[in-house]
Amino acid sequence: MRLSRYFMPILKENPKEAEIVSHRLMLRAGMIRQQSQGIYSWLPLGKRVLDKVNAIIREEQNRAGAIELSMPTLQSAELWQESGRYDAYGKEMLRIKDRQDRPMLYGPTNEEMVTDIFRSAVKSYKDLPLNLYHIQLKFRDEIRPRFGTMRSREFMMKDAYSFDLTREGAEHSYNKMFAAYLRTFDRLGLRAIPMRADTGPIGGNLSHEFIILADTGESEVFCHKDFVGFDIPGENTDFDSVEGLKAIFDKWTSLYAATSEMHDEAAFNAVPEGDRLSARGIEVGHIFYFGTKYSEPMGAKVQGPDGKEHFVHMGSYGIGPTRLVPAIIEASHDDNGIIWPASVAPFDVVVINMKVGDEACDDTCELIYAALKKAGKDVLYDDTDDRAGTKFATADLIGVPVQIIAGPRAVANGEVEVKDRKTGARETMTIEAAINRFVA
Ligand code: ATP
Ligand code: MG
């Protein structure tokens, strides 16, 4: 992508409305724009990051055996009347009427809809277990939307829903998502700790929130500090192994970890003082097992091996991609801007032409740009006529992991500078060596 032809509206001034660093940096880097309170457009740079986050979420959901579909944002109120949640949900639900005066709503979550899909098609235990997910916009009319896309009214959620014949089966389905979540957050460069959580309006009896420790987090959390160093389940994790996944779940729940709603002061005080971590956190994922809470009122049942009908045991599993993007920034930035983990960086590398119009600089940059693109890299080429200082500031602000800097002096020697955004380390090398770094 040539920056001169891209759309990346950088702000020079710090936006006054932004209270936390991620919100400030997302606005300054031109990643998002507020359209009305708690409702955002994702501008091209932000969209790139969001897409990469979603791609990782999708890969790990698929690896764990979940199957993607797509459900609509608008739902009929009827379904919610069946489950009994239409009245219970309260003011967070945006209720709408269509031209025939039929009550509709903008989905805050999809338990009812997915249960409806399930009951229309699945009749036998032989079709179980089943886990269906989508990545879709949700709307919750939050009383206090704030911190940009961290807590917005319209936001994206990956929500998965599992169906099993028995409670034991449902626990295995829960453990699959538990392990998949550990892997997902790790690949996003985050350390998320599963904590026992309240089930809230979703209901149910087994629930964990995945929390990232951050000073700007809205939740108060308490945990054993050893979680920070625990091993993440590997790529070769066998998601069909009941014992294997149970072992992962047991290990990751073996020490104290709870959000304030579930906090047990006495149990926490039993943790040796030096091992106690009392901190603030950001909830990036939340998983629930809620048994037959929806399948019973909505009549979602299958025939079991005993020939009888059984209400299915369900769980639901949410991750917030539009919250994850700012959460990653909260965890990874410095005074100059964002520092993206390579896995979600909007571009792999930025090529900075320090003197556009200088033939040697232009030729060198074009050569590198073409070679890296050919190697399948996402490359941003800063071919604008901005001053070098502005270009450096922009490259640091948008947090691309590697910068290749072509200035007249180095280029005259057949060299460029390669800068690592995270460490700030700069290395001078031949043009060929710079290209070869990316062309494996
Ligand atoms: P919170 O306690 O932060 O209000 P929640 O418990 O209501 O969230 P869930 O129903 O558990 O949210 O939703 C699953 C995930 O969706 C959350 O873990 C979070 O990542 C994301 N999410 C929920 N509400 C919002 C929001 N208002 N803005 C952005 N992401 C959200
Ligand atoms: Mg939650």
User: Is the CB of residue 179 less than 8 Å from the CB of residue 248?
Assistant: yes
Per-residue model confidence (pLDDT) at position 202: 62
Alpha-carbon distance of 33 to 41, in angstroms, equals: 5
Ligand 2 mean position to 421 CA, how many Å?
34
For 275-294, how does the pLDDT look when each residue is reduced to its tens digit (9 = 90+)?
Answer: 999 999 999 999 999 999 99
Top mutation candidate among 147, 155, 316 for ligand 1, by most atoms within 8 Å of CB? 155
Query: Tokens 């790139």 belong to which residue?
Result: 48
Ligand 1 contact, 323 CB (< 6 A): yes
Q: pLDDT at position 342, please? A: 97
Kindly indicate the confidence band of residue 322, based on its pLDDT and cuts at 50, 70 and 90: very high
Going by their DSSP bridges, the two strands 337-338 and 333-334 should be labelled as antiparallel
Note the pLDDT of residue 198.
Answer: 77
Q: The tokens of 59 are what?
A: 């890969």
Res. 7: pLDDT tops 80: yes
CA 324 to ligand 1: nearest atom: 20
Asked if 58 and 135 count as a contact pair (C-beta separation under 8 A), the reply is: yes
Ligand minimally distant from the alpha carbon of residue 140: 1
Is any ligand 1 atom within 6 A of the Cβ of residue 52? no
**Per-residue pLDDT tens over the stretch 355-406:** 999 999 999 999 999 999 999 999 999 999 999 999 999 999 999 999 999 9
Average pLDDT, integer, range 335-359: 98
CB 18 within 8 A of CB 24: yes
What is the residue extent of each domain of the chain? Answer: 3-338, 349-439
Q: What is the pLDDT of residue 201?
A: 65
Within a 10 A sphere around the Cβ of 274, how many other Cβ atoms? 6
**Banded pLDDT at 199 (limits 50, 70, 90):** confident
At residue 200, does pLDDT exceed 80?
no
When pLDDT is averaged across residues 177-201 and rounded to a whole number, the result is 92
Residue 320 three-state SS? coil
Q: What is the Å distance from ligand 2's center to 371 Cα? A: 45
Three-state DSSP class for 215?
Answer: coil
Pocket probe mutation, ligand 1, options 20, 50, 157, 212, max atoms within 8 Å of Cβ: 157
Q: What local confidence, expressed as pLDDT, does residue 203 receive? A: 62
Asked if 281 contacts 263 with a C-beta cutoff of 8 angstroms, the reply is no
pLDDT in tens, 121-168: 999 999 999 999 999 999 999 999 999 999 999 999 999 999 999 999
From the options 3.30.460.80, 3.30.1180.20, 3.30.930.10, 3.20.20.140, give the CATH code of 3-338.
3.30.930.10
- How much is the average pLDDT of 240-247? 98
**DSSP 8-class letter at 124:** B
Closest ligand 1 atom to 153 CA: 27
CB 151 less than 6 A from any atom of ligand 1 = yes
Which DSSP symbol is given to 299? T
- Residue 320 CA, ligand 1 centroid: distance in Å: 6
Mean pLDDT of 99-105: 97
Domains 3-338 and 349-439 share a fold: no
pLDDT in tens, 414-430: 999 999 999 999 999 99
Contacts of 319 (CB under 8 A, 6+ apart): 57, 157, 158, 181, 184, 210, 284, 285
Q: How far is the CA of 93 from the centre of ligand 2 (A)?
A: 16
Task: Please give the average per-residue pLDDT across 159-181, as a whole number.
Answer: 98
Closest C-alpha residue for ligand 1 atom 7: 200
Where does 349-439 sit in CATH, by number? 3.40.50.800
**Distances from the Cα of 89 to the Cα of 82, 84, 179, 247, 394, angstroms:** 13, 9, 30, 36, 44
* Ligand in closest contact with the CA of 109: 1
Rounded Cα distance between 136 and 86, Å, is 20
